[in-house]
């Protein structure tokens, strides 16, 4: 029981540190309308969703690349990466954390915040 609790605490700390790094990367790359949703109580998909927007496909790619580069320095790579080439919606799955980098019109269209309205927003 203690090992599981210790693993859970360690995993939670790791997720918190990764989230912090992702949020800083988004801010450094001038990401817009940054949101962190805690979805662990309502879904098994992940613990957190990070949602951020760019004003162009190039900015979306730049934000996503900044996240990837900053986490690669720490030896962290996504399990899955989709959409980087087009730059309209980049999805990065880091296990406990899923990052959505949207081109603004795509974000409005898909409305993830509305779909996950029951998920608590974490203050940034």
Task: Quote the domain boundaries for residue 54.
Answer: 2-115
Residue 124 lies in a domain: no
Q: Is residue 120 part of a domain?
A: no
Could you tell me the pTM of the whole model? Answer: 0.89
Cα 123 from Cα 120, distance rounded (Å): 9
The pLDDT of residue 67 is: 98
Say if 123 falls within a structural domain. no
Q: How many domains does the chain have?
A: 1
Q: Is the pLDDT of residue 57 over 80?
A: yes
Q: Count CB neighbours of 40 within 10 A.
A: 16
Using the predicted structure, report yes or no on whether residue 21 has a pLDDT greater than 70: yes
Q: Is 19 domain-assigned?
A: yes
Q: Which two tokens stand for residue 75?
A: 């030896």
pLDDT in tens, 87-103: 999 999 999 999 999 99
Q: Spell out the residues 6+ positions from residue 25 whose beta carbon is closer than 8 angstroms to its own.
A: 63, 66, 67, 69, 70, 71
Decide if 24 is inside a domain.
Answer: yes
Token pair for 119: 């998920």
Domain CATH for 92: 3.30.460.10
The average pLDDT across 32-58 equals: 95
Phi, psi of 81 (to 5 degrees): -140, 125
């Amino acid at each position: 029981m203690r090992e599981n609790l210790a693993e859970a605490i360690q995993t939670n700390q790791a997720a918190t540190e990764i989230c912090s790094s992702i949020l800083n990367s988004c801010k450094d790359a001038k990401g817009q309308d940054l949101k962190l949703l805690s979805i662990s109580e309502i879904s098994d998909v992940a613990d957190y969703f990070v949602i951020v927007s760019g004003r162009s496909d190039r900015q979306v790619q730049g934000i996503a690349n900044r996240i990837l580069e900053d986490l690669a320095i720490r030896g962290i790579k996504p399990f899955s990466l989709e959409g980087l080439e087009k730059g309209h919606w980049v999805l990065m799955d880091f296990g406990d954390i899923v990052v959505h980098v949207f081109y603004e019109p795509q974000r409005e269209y898909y409305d993830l915040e509305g779909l996950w309205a029951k998920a608590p927003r974490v203050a940034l």
